[in-house]
A and B are shown apart, each in its own frame.
Chain A
């Protein structure tokens, strides 16, 4: 009887929960090795990498590699390109799924709605390589179908993938084409939880369809919108390395070289590990500042926040 009231000690709870520990142990090991050890390895940005001494053994260099980056001729361009691509992506591709969800929600004909949903989700499952391959064959100035359409309306012979002016629009529009549908799922889920009585009562009040969207649907989406917006701001500078990298060519390089692709080239291709790690760390810090700031704004303005 007495033992039941005894405060559980570490040993006691371990004896009781050892099976739980066994079940979670593999996950702990994996997270520790592949997520936490690289975080420890961030010191590399402040040291000289030395092959014989491993991840954290080289001589201490302080902020040397950061200064080298800030002073480099690439710095201004990299910052400009990274921010331009990320902000254009966030600003244009964030509202798209919201609008799409509101639109799909208005479709009353069940079969049409189902077909539309199935279709708009589909491009999300196309791999990035195939997506960029698609862009290449469809936008090719002399043989692509979009090139033909453009020249038939008199805008012909623009190399959409090889121009510094069209790189960002093509990047952003294709992002929307590929992911807008998939990202609308979460808003559709939020809309499906709206109390039907609200629709009935707005109808009785004589609200038009448009007014119902404005006063019932959109307010229902606000919490979801804010949370997703804060999360997307956190990624503002780590915009898809893979897609930018694959879309790069000699012609668009002046606007398509971003921090992430530069880190890859300097680090993995030319083995300047410390310099590259410093640039990568700089990127992470900026990301976090963005996330923190947006979270603060969201919390102040709406009481909704990540933490």
Chain B
């Protein structure tokens, strides 16, 4: 016998919905709450935070953490460096990747299969950390800003995504027609292919951008000078190595529990300040995500 309520739905289905929504709410809270907690903890009295009295609303609002952060020159140097590496790096990424992807999408290009294969092999094989490190040293790239920009500036996954897009959404006939009128590949790429591909350009541009912003590894391995360190390395010093204050006052236990309390507040603030740019652009870029994956999943 089937149990049916007035709307014609089975009772089991109503129950099913209830479970689905309950689990979804749980997932939602498990992601939102920690992030929300960091925000309220960064502006609350640090003693109340550390004794567990700050749970839903900020208490005894204080901006001490932020004022310390604004005074810290390391953070601003790191911010500036990361901004420079991100902008320049993403520009170089696109400049190297997009034309190559266009070429690999041209059926008449005879070296296409061979070149594609040599590119794809690099997804599965690499020289490993040590040979790569020694190569950078031989090229005198270590401890320069160029190590953030040129090495690996062509990401093969992104290349494949762009290639599939060009292949599937720029009809072959379009170039044939254009070339009848004397259009060259250069012109066709700039005037026709690129303007028709804004979606894919923004998606892989975004992938590159986020990768540069979050890049920690390059700074760790290749940079020694403090003036060149990206934000992520500075963040590591503050968040994980406890080098909270520039002057070093709060670094050890020397200043006692007092400094340690403020150190925590500085940490919450640093998490917010360093993630802010991504949180600001997030709502604008979010609509491209599904599109990006759909583009990427097209078989090529």
Contacts and interface: CB of A to CB of B under 8 A. Distances in A.
Interface stretch (B66-74, B83-91, B129-137, B248-256): B129-137
Interface in B67-102: 95-97, 99-100, 102
B189 interface: yes
A263 B133 CA distance: 12
Interface string A15-44: 001011101101110110111111111101
A246 B240 contact: yes
Contacts of B124: 234, 288, 291
B213 A280 contact: no
Contact-residue size bin, chain A (C-beta under 8 Å from the other chain): 35 or more
State the majority secondary structure of interface residues on B: helix
A273 B24 contact: no
Contacts of A23: 99-100, 102-103, 185-186, 189
Contacts of B50: 142-143
Interface stretch (A82-90, A122-130, A163-171, A194-202): A122-130
Identify which of B23, B100, B217, B289 gathers the most chain A CB atoms within 10 Å of its CB: B100
A44 B217 CA distance: 22
Contacts of A118: 283, 286
Nearest to B132: A38
A42 B271 contact: no
A268 B37 CA distance: 38
A264 interface: yes
Contacts of B289: 121, 185
A235 to B, nearest CB: 10
Interface residues of B, number: 92
A300 B72 CA distance: 59
Contacts of A35: 122, 126-127, 152
B170 interface: no
B125 A128 contact: no
B271 A148 contact: no
A221 interface: no
Given A134-B38, A284-B126, A123 B31 contact: yes
Given A116-B27, A189-B293, A242-B216, A39 B134 contact: no
Contact of A24 (B30, B103, B271): B103
A44 B131 contact: yes
Contacts of A181: 31
A26 B99 CA distance: 9
Contact of A39 (B21, B115, B127, B153): B127
B106 to A, nearest CB: 6
Contact of A103 (B24, B268, B282, B297): B24
Contact of B128 (A42, A145, A210, A291): A42
B184 to A, nearest CB: 6
B136 to A, nearest CB: 9
A129 B216 contact: yes
Contacts of A128: 214, 216, 232
A121 B49 contact: no
B135 A38 contact: yes
Contact of A122 (B210, B240, B282, B294): B282
Interface string A236-267: 00000110001000000000000010011001
Contacts of B213: 127
Contacts of A242: 216-217
Contacts of B119: 27, 31
A27 B154 contact: yes
B217 A143 contact: no
Contact of A38 (B20, B24, B49, B126): B126
B104 interface: yes
A68 interface: no
B109 A133 contact: no
Contact of A209 (B13, B55, B127): B13
B290 A185 contact: yes
Contacts of A188: 290
B276 to A, nearest CB: 11
Given A23-B103, A34-B132, A125-B278, 6 more contacts: A30-B154, A33-B139, A39-B127, A134-B38, A137-B239, A209-B12
8 contacts: A27-B99, A38-B126, A49-B134, A118-B286, A119-B31, A121-B286, A132-B240, A246-B240
Interface of A: 8, 13, 17, 19-21, 23-24, 26-28, 30-31, 33-42, 44, 49, 54-55, 100, 103-104, 106-108, 112, 115-116, 118-123, 125-130, 132-134, 136-138, 140, 142-143, 145, 148, 177, 181, 185-186, 188-190, 208-210, 234, 241-242, 246, 260, 263-264, 267-268, 273, 276-277, 280-281, 283-284, 288, 291
